[in-house]
Structure formats: structure tokens, C-alpha cells
Chains A and B, each alone.
Chain A
């Protein structure tokens, strides 16, 4: 535990915190401030920190003009589906690694984790022809499945660590009660592992929601595009750089994530800290 005794130590600590907070929050503030500035104010050579007259035009344009709402829907569908798929697969794999013994367990765990060692761009080289060969290129299902690459290895380890803490006696009691392995997983283990499951789902959701590269490469139809490439192609491209619009759209796009986090915050923190405090 950090103990600050003298006023110098306290002042130093506050300064460090302030610097970190500045680097963390100033870009967010600047983006928010820019979103509320009209273009005339936005491109002044002497930038203003607070908008002279808050301007909502960028927000209205982002919603009413262009496909942002459609792209939001696409992102929501693919991210939610991939988050759930990822969490379910991670839970099954993590449970198997944590509670069963079989000969190839260790190599299999390493193999899954090794997927995380490669840059995502490299994995895309093999994912692209795979999706092409099964006819899933330029489909939401194909994108959803490819998103598993991002989060599944770490999610599996997160679930594995959580399941390791589930007492074996609980599982044995259910075995004596006559429950099958799947029933034990579904009725006993999963209900008490909900915080970890939600944490893993949120983690996967964030990866998918923030994706640019995979969606840009695997989706070519405008009606299936997600928000990442959507924002880039509309607001910042070789012909155009609409910073005010980009910032406003970014905040609209961030809203669902913030909402999901606010609702599930308790479970998320519970999941993160559950291993530390027993």
C-alpha cells in the first residue's frame, strides 16, 4: 500500500495522477468538444477549447444522412453474436481444461494460446480463403466467426482460471447426485460462473466492436458494413476529412458500448476481481 507522508509526496503524487489523467481524458474531451463545434470554428488556426456556440449539426447529419444506423445495427449483430459465441466456446474449452484430464490437454492449451501470438493481419491471410471456400465471405456470419480469433484464446484462459477456483467437491456432489457432465456444467458450474462469462463476453464484444481490419477486408457490400470501416470510409478518406462529423459519429457509436458497460459493470468487476478475493 502506497503511503504518502509529507505534503511533497502528496503533491508529487497528485501531479503524476494529473498528467496520466490528462493523457487519458484530454483526447476524449477534444473529440467531444470538436463534435459540438461548427466547421467554421473547428478549422480555426487558433483552436478553441470550449465550443463558442454548441452545434448539433454533426450529430443530426450523422444520424439522418448516410448509413450510420444500418452500420450500427450490423456491428451490434456481429459483435453480440461473436461475443456470445466466444463466451460459450471459451466456457466449454476452459471447463474442459480446468476440470478434466486427458493426454493432449497441455499441448492443446498452448496451441489455442499460440493463436494470440500472431498479428491479427497475418491470421487474416488464412481466414480469407477459408471463408471464401465455404461461401461466407461478405456475410455477417463469416465476420462473426472470424471475430472469434480476437478473443477466444484469452477468453479461454480467463474461463480456465475461473473454473480452476470452482471447488471440485461441488462437481463431485453433483456427480453423486447423478448429474451428467453436461448437466453439471449447465446447472451447477455456469450459474456460479456468470460474472466470468459476462466479463469474457464483454471483452469479446469490445474487440469486435472496435474492429476495422477484418470488417474492411471480409465485408465488401455497403449494406453489411460495420461502424469501424463505415466511419473511416465516410468521414476520413482520400477526398474528404470531416472531423466534426467523425467525432460526432464516434460518440454515437460509443454509446451502446458505454451503455452495455454501465449495465453490466457490477458483473464485469466481479468477474475481474473474483480470483483475487475469495
Chain B
């Protein structure tokens, strides 16, 4: 089980700083996903761990050893690339053997490891084919196989599923998760797809503009986002945000006023907002209740209704705020009509004008049972 540690890692391209002193501890054997929008630096961070990108400042440790200056091949890592990066002139067998040949392994060892990896990934019949004769999913499996045969301590995946169609993505997602369970190695996986992140990760590291926004288990990030960015990024469709004003503040509670004038009283165990402060209230589309039944009710003017069979999305307006509601497939609402929805106090999120979450007292903790995070940020930025 090999730990990976990033210690104040900075990356500059000339004058431009793209990674701003990231600190991260990744426990051995964990499946950690770096997620964030395009250009957030997740691939750069992965490439710095791989040794394919120079670290401008700070250090990278793999298995407790500083590898900042070490070559990619000396780090004990294996990498799967977005474009598969299979050697097009070599057969599947040759692709998988290449790294071992370079390392000077005996032929019998190479043959044994290739057949073992081929068995794991069901590549047995494809070993003598060239990459051009394979489908996208098969190519990706070969790319993973090429990594497995080298028996790396840490697997690095750089958006490996983005070139596959939706159905194959789901299939490969499951295969990679199974592979992690079988091998038990540390795996670091980069994606911009938050569904991939939520379904595969033990721990998610959310990145934005070269800095870590939050680290946690998928459910912690979903239920307890530390800021507005994470709240908006995790979850699909994304969280609804409404402007609210703090009406009054007590000793451990405060009252906010919704855009339609409705007051909501909330308790906060920590920092309380100031009276008159403008906040943003967040509520996920799937946390609306159709009709009465929740703690608070809102009337929504429904503009668009998307019926997908199992799920229905309602796009509507609530006091000049655009709202998305996710209901089950039985939900029947007519376009252009008003609909009554409600929500519970425990499902609310609040963010201050800097985007930081205001921690709220909840009667139930929905993030409980999400497991412990196996990556921790020592200090972000």
C-alpha cells in the first residue's frame, strides 16, 4: 500500500502559475479522484505525480520517498492516458510487453505477466491484434493491461473514459472499480465528470483554478459542501441557489427571508451571519418535495417539463429565480402552470458572499455512512 503526498506543490508555466501550493496526503490503497472543471489543473497535478511535468516548487512523495526529481519510470507508477496512447505499430501483446522488455525482464516473466493481465481484463483473444483492429473499450482495456503488467505501486488515470460512448463508460467504470478491489493498489483518477467521481471514488479532491476546494468522501461532498463551488459542482442537475437576507440573529440561531418574503429560522453551531447580510440559499433539485409535506413551501411557475420516464425535471421560476426540480417519473405537471413544492430544513445549504458555507445545525446527518475520507488536505493554498 503506497501513500502519495504532495507538499506545497506549485506549477508555473513561465510567469503563469497554474497550481498554487497544493498539499495533499493520499493513503495507500485508496481510490482518489481529482475532479474539477476544464483548466482547473487536475491533469497537471496528476502529471506532476507521474513525473511527466516538472514540479516548480514543493515536493512529491510516493511511498514515503521524495520523487520530485525522479524520472517517471523510477516512481513506481503506471499511467493510463485519455487517448489510450497505445503503440500503433505493435500488437496488443507487444504493447503490454514493451515496458517489461525495457526493464530487461526475462521472457518467461513477461509472458506470464502478460497472460495474467490478459486474463484479468479478458484480452486473451486480442493479444495478436493491432490497436487499430480494436474497439474503443478494448483499447482502453489494453492501456490498463499495459499498466498492470508493470505491477506499479500507484495507478494514475488521466480521464481514461472520456473518449468512450456513454454505455461503454459505465461498463469501464465498473471494470476499473472492480480492478481496484482486486489489486488493492493506490489509484488516482482524473475526470471532469462528477458522476464518475461520485461512483468510483473513496475520496474526491475537488479542484478549481489550481487549488484544492474540498477533499472528502463522495457523500460528504454532496451533503456537506464547504463552499458554493463544490455545492454547485457536485450533483446533477446542479444545486439551485436563491438570494436570501438575514433578518435577525439570536445567540445560536438566525432567521433568513426568502425572495417571496417567507421567513426560515435556522440554527448554526459555529459562526453566525450578521443581521442584514445577503446570503445564498442552496437546495438540490432532488430535495424538493412535490406538493406539501416539507418544512417550507414555494410556488413554482413551470416553464419546461422534461419527462424521462423514471425521472421528471421541472424548470420553473420562483420569484424571478430559475429553479430546477427533480421529481420521480410519475410527476405530472403541465407546462405554463404553477406547482406547489416544499423542502425540509435539513436539506438547506447557506453560503456567504465569499462563497463559504455557513454550517447549519441539522437534526439528521445525511452524510453519515459515507465512509471515512482517505485523502486529507493538510492545508489548501
Report which A residues bind B (CB closer than 8 A).
Answer: 167, 169-170, 172-179, 183, 187-188, 191-192
> A-B pairs with CB below 8 Å: how many?
53
Residue from B73, B82, B88 within 8 A of A176 (CB atoms): B73
Contacts of A174 in B (CB 8 A): 87, 98
Q: Is the CB of A176 within 8 A of B78?
A: yes
Find the B residue at minimum CB distance from A180.
B102
Chain A nearest CB: distance from B160 CB in Å? 12
Q: Is the CB of A175 within 8 A of B98?
A: no
Residue from A176, A178, A183, A187 within 8 A of B79 (CB atoms): A176
Q: How far is the CA of A173 from the CA of B73 in the complex (A)?
A: 10
B337 on the A face (CB < 8 A):
no
Residue from A169, A179, A188 within 8 A of B81 (CB atoms): A169
Q: How far is the CA of A191 from the CA of B73 in the complex (A)?
A: 22
Q: Is the CB of B88 within 8 A of A169?
A: no
Residue from A172, A177, A192 within 8 A of B99 (CB atoms): A177
Q: Is the CB of B87 within 8 A of A170?
A: yes
Name the interface residues of B235-265: CB closer than 8 Å to any CB of A: none
Q: Is the CB of B72 within 8 A of A167?
A: no
Q: Is the CB of A173 within 8 A of B150?
A: no
Residue from A177, A187, A192 within 8 A of B88 (CB atoms): A192
Q: Is the CB of A177 within 8 A of B85?
A: no
B89 on the A face (CB < 8 A):
yes
Known: A167-B83, A169-B83, A183-B102. A176 touches B89 (CB 8 A): no
User: Closest 3 CB pairs between A and B?
Assistant: A177-B99, A178-B73, A173-B85
Report which B residues bind A (CB closer than 8 A).
Answer: 50, 52, 71-73, 77-79, 81-83, 85-89, 98-99, 102-103, 146, 150
Q: Is the CB of A191 within 8 A of B89?
A: yes
Chain B nearest CB: distance from A22 CB in Å? 44
Q: Is the CB of B87 within 8 A of A172?
A: no
Q: Is the CB of B89 within 8 A of A172?
A: no
Q: How far is the CA of A172 from the CA of B50 in the complex (A)?
A: 10
Q: How far is the CA of A176 from the CA of B146 in the complex (A)?
A: 11
A-B CB contact pairs (8 Å), 25 listed: A169-B81, A169-B82, A169-B85, A172-B72, A172-B79, A172-B81, A173-B81, A173-B85, A173-B87, A174-B87, A174-B98, A176-B50, A176-B72, A176-B78, A176-B99, A177-B98, A178-B73, A178-B102, A179-B73, A179-B98, A183-B102, A187-B98, A188-B87, A192-B88, A192-B89
- Chain B CB count within 10 A is highest, among A178, A183, A187, A192, for A178
Q: How far is the CA of A188 from the CA of B90 in the complex (A)?
A: 9
Q: How far is the CA of A176 from the CA of B82 in the complex (A)?
A: 15
Contacts of A183 in B (CB 8 A): 102
Find the B residue at minimum CB distance from A178.
B73
